[in-house]
Structure 1
Amino acid sequence: MDRAPGTSVRTRLAFSYAGFLMVAGVLLIAVVWVFLLRYVPDEAVRLPARPARSLAGSPGNPGLFIPGRYDLWRAFAPKAALALAALLVLGLVGGWFLAGRMLAPLNRITAATRAAGSGSLSHRIRLPGRRDEFRELADAFDGMLAQIEAHVAEQRRFAANASHELRTPLAIARTLIEVARNDPDRDVDELLARLLAVNQRATDLTEALLVLSRADQGTFTRETVDLSLLAEEATETLLPFAERRGLTVETSGDVALTVGSPALLLQLATNLVHNAIVHNTTGHGGVWVTTSTGPQVVRLTVENTGDVLAPELVATLAEPFRRGTDRVRSDHAGVGLGLAIATSIARAHGGSLDLAPRDGGGLRVTVRLPAAGGGVPAPRPDRAHGSAGHP
């Protein structure tokens, strides 16, 4: 924003210090003058002289002159003016240096702000000294820069990964078409089936990106939702998929009321259950979906059996297009956005998503969301359990 040039804050502070010092000096002189007037007569008085020596031998009094108010004013006013002038000079000079020392941290903050505005997000103020208003501002600004830098880096990685993921099906489709064009004995039905699969993958990726964008923006209608019912719906939808892989799926828990978008929260639960089924031990694994309530919070926990995961790997699984161990490619591996979408949905609802490895292998995902109305709902006695497994 273009602004007209004005007086600097340092100059204004210097004049403010000098003005305050002048006001204090004037008040002090006025108080002294008022108290002096109480003991000074209106007119000058001269007491009569006594003899050089009295009969007792003491020295005589040559006479005493007591000045009046006018005489006192003539003697007092010039010196008071000089004192006020000295206070003015001292206030301006001292105020200038004091204002400079006080505003030095602000100058560092301004320089850091300009550096950040030019694109240098790695710059930090790191203002030394004990905590005060300026240092709290500098620390808050450093924290904001760290968050912005991390967010920009994440967005750049996301854009690069998304571009790569979107380019892959297009490149595959182009290769299939070129091979089929140069093959006189091509199987049209097989070609169409492959192109349909590639197109479906690109469509799934595009829809996942749209869901992720919608969750990040937080543009959705909120209403009271029972998280346990959404968990049951997601489990029932994916039950045939779990049966084909020979997995057991169990749901349990209490009523968990929160406020948010039913569609997005259902997407969250579905992503977590699907992730737990896909990345599991085929044939003898299990998935456990539970809901619980606590003070001001409701929880959705999804656990699954599987390979032993290192904590370092688990900490990165919620990043977009991140896959662990055998999460590279499979028929149901998805597009690598399941946990990323779930994390964004949880954040958009004022909650969080935590990942932790299970003892013996597998993953535990815990979603924490604010409870509806801040209360703790009562448990529902007729809670149903669903399972899928071997006969």
Structure 2
Amino acid sequence: MDRRPGLSVRLQLTLSYAGFLVLTGAFMLALVWLFIRVPGLRAIGRFAPSHPLLMQEFLPASAVVLTFLLLVGLVGGWLLAGRMLAPLARITAATTAVAAGSWGHRIALPGRRDELRDLADAFDAMVGRIEEHVAEQQRFAANASHELRTPLAVTQALLDVARSDPDADTREVLDRLHAVNARAIDLTEALLVLSRADARAFTREPVDLSLLAEDAVETLLPLAEARGVTLGAAGDAAPTSGSPALLRQLTANLVHNAIVHNLPHGGSVLVTTGTRPGSAFLTVESTGAPLSPAVVATLAEPFQRGGARVRGDHHAGVGLGLAIVQSIARAHDGTLALAPRAGGGLRVEVTLETPGSGSG
């Protein structure tokens, strides 16, 4: 914002202190003046009849007193204002450093709690969150670039081989190109969903998580049967509000992830829904290999997978399944909780607010 230059806050406070001190002194002198001039008050005070001489002495003395108070107010006010505003200089320096890109800079203002230190602490906390977000976005951009570069590099290699070998099997090359292209499309669509969720570009509508769970189970049942995984849904109605399309994507991603990252044979996936006071939840429990808490803590990061990707398996995903789930949950002011199961596998729970329980 373009502003005209004005007085510094320190000078304004100094003038305020000095003005208040002078006004207070003037008020006290005015009371004395009235006490001398008013006959009734003069009689009460038992002043001598030679009050004109007293008046002649009072006026010059009053001017000296007011001048003294003004000087004291200016000097004292300047020193006090400088002491009180010293933390602002530190806050300003930190703000300038952060604005220049130094995200690791903090104010770290010492002393006991007051308004300025509350401001400094809030600023430090805000910069910390921004620094984490920037680092996360940088990692995401690097990972996305790597993931997008891989299918493009494979496509280039296939085309080079086909061009250099006229006798190559064209159908095989086309089939491999089709698979690589399909993966690139899946990755691009996943990135678009993730971007849409992060931007919260949706209108909230009533949604029942139990219906979405049933739909996801019915849709992905053929995939579960092909992999020998038992898939089921249970639970009660779980009303919430949000984007039906995004919440459907969230549910499908959870179920798909549970099917793909499961035991080679004889695995199971159970989807349950329900409500708690003020919230609705959707839980997906799946069997699988044992997972450590350290590994589970990274599964929601973009392009992280709980196990090795099977070569040639087009159902393995692009590493954004749980990242999309977490982004959608956050966009709906909800939470995503991951925990390893005692016997192996993963337990995932999404909790969302029920209608009328949010902060608006």
Q: Which residue of 1 aligns with 2:17?
A: 17
Q: Per-residue deviation at 1:68?
A: 4.0
Q: Per-residue deviation at 1:249?
A: 1.4
What is the root-mean-square deviation of aligned Cα atoms in Å? 1.8
Q: Which residue of 2 aligns with 1:324?
A: 306
Q: What amino acid is aligned across from residue 339 of structure 1 in structure 2?
A: L
Q: Distance in 1 between matches of 2:208 and 2:357?
A: 14
Q: Distance in 1 between matches of 2:266 and 2:64?
A: 98
Q: Per-residue deviation at 1:361?
A: 1.2
CA offset digits 1:258-305 (Å, max 9, x no partner): 111111100000000011111111211111111121111111111111
Q: Which residue of 2 aligns with 1:31?
A: 31
Give SS of 1:66's match: coil
Q: Does 1:82 align with 2:84?
A: no
Q: Distance in 2 between matches of 1:85 and 1:199?
A: 86
Q: Which residue of 2 aligns with 1:380?
A: none
Q: Which residue of 2 aligns with 1:386?
A: none
Gaps of 5+ in 1: 46-64, 376-391
Q: Does 1:267 align with 2:249?
A: yes
Q: Does 1:365 align with 2:316?
A: no
Q: Which residue of 2 aligns with 1:40?
A: 42
Q: Does 1:340 align with 2:327?
A: no
> Alignment length, in residue pairs?
354
Q: Distance in 1 between matches of 2:142 and 2:350?
A: 28
Q: Does the CA contact (< 8 Å) of 1:305 and 1:363 recur in 2?
A: yes
Q: Does the CA contact (< 8 Å) of 1:18 and 1:91 recur in 2?
A: yes
1:148-167 correspondence to structure 2 within 5 Å = 148-167=130-149
Q: What amino acid is aligned across from residue 22 of structure 2 in structure 1?
A: M
Out of 195, 198, 202, which is 1:216 matched to? Answer: 198
Q: What amino acid is aligned across from residue 20 of structure 2 in structure 1?
A: F
Q: Does the CA contact (< 8 Å) of 1:231 and 1:269 recur in 2?
A: yes
Out of 165, 183, 194, which is 2:165 matched to? Answer: 183
Q: Distance in 2 between matches of 1:364 and 1:79?
A: 85
Q: Does the CA contact (< 8 Å) of 1:279 and 1:327 recur in 2?
A: no
Q: Per-residue deviation at 1:69?
A: 3.7
Give SS of 2:356's match: helix
Gaps of 5+ in 2: none
Q: What amino acid is aligned across from residue 362 of structure 1 in structure 2?
A: G
Q: Does 1:279 align with 2:261?
A: yes
Instruction: Return 340-349 or 77-86, whichever deviates more.
Output: 77-86
Q: Does the CA contact (< 8 Å) of 1:216 and 1:344 recur in 2?
A: yes
Q: Per-residue deviation at 1:328?
A: 6.9
Q: Distance in 1 between matches of 2:340 and 2:35?
A: 83
Q: Which residue of 2 aligns with 1:62?
A: none
TM-score when scaled to structure 1?
0.87
Q: Which residue of 2 aligns with 1:383?
A: none
Q: Which residue of 2 aligns with 1:256?
A: 238
TM-score when scaled to structure 2?
0.94
Q: Which residue of 1 aligns with 2:152?
A: 170
Instruction: Return 263-272 or 219-228, whichever deviates more.
Output: 219-228
Rg larger in structure: 1
Q: Which residue of 1 aligns with 2:228?
A: 246
Give SS of 1:286's match: strand
Q: What amino acid is aligned across from residue 349 of structure 1 in structure 2?
A: H
Q: Distance in 2 between matches of 1:365 and 1:336?
A: 16
Q: Does the CA contact (< 8 Å) of 1:40 and 1:69 recur in 2?
A: no
Q: Distance in 2 between matches of 1:91 and 1:4?
A: 28
Q: What amino acid is aligned across from residue 203 of structure 1 in structure 2?
A: I
Q: What amino acid is aligned across from residue 18 of structure 2 in structure 1?
A: A
Q: What amino acid is aligned across from residue 67 of structure 2 in structure 1?
A: A
Q: Does the CA contact (< 8 Å) of 1:40 and 1:67 recur in 2?
A: no
Instruction: Return 324-333 or 184-193, whichever deviates more.
Output: 324-333
Q: Per-residue deviation at 1:39?
A: 4.5
Q: Distance in 2 between matches of 1:324 and 1:223?
A: 33
Q: Which residue of 1 aligns with 2:280?
A: 298
Structure 1 86/328 Cα, relative in aligned 2: closer, same or farther at 3 Å?
farther
Give SS of 2:269's match: strand
1:112-131 correspondence to structure 2 within 5 Å = 112-131=94-113
Q: Per-residue deviation at 1:83?
A: 1.1
Q: Distance in 2 between matches of 1:210 and 1:184?
A: 38
Q: Does the CA contact (< 8 Å) of 1:311 and 1:357 recur in 2?
A: yes
Q: Does the CA contact (< 8 Å) of 2:35 and 2:42 recur in 1?
A: no
Q: Distance in 2 between matches of 1:260 and 1:39?
A: 77
Q: Per-residue deviation at 1:33?
A: 3.2
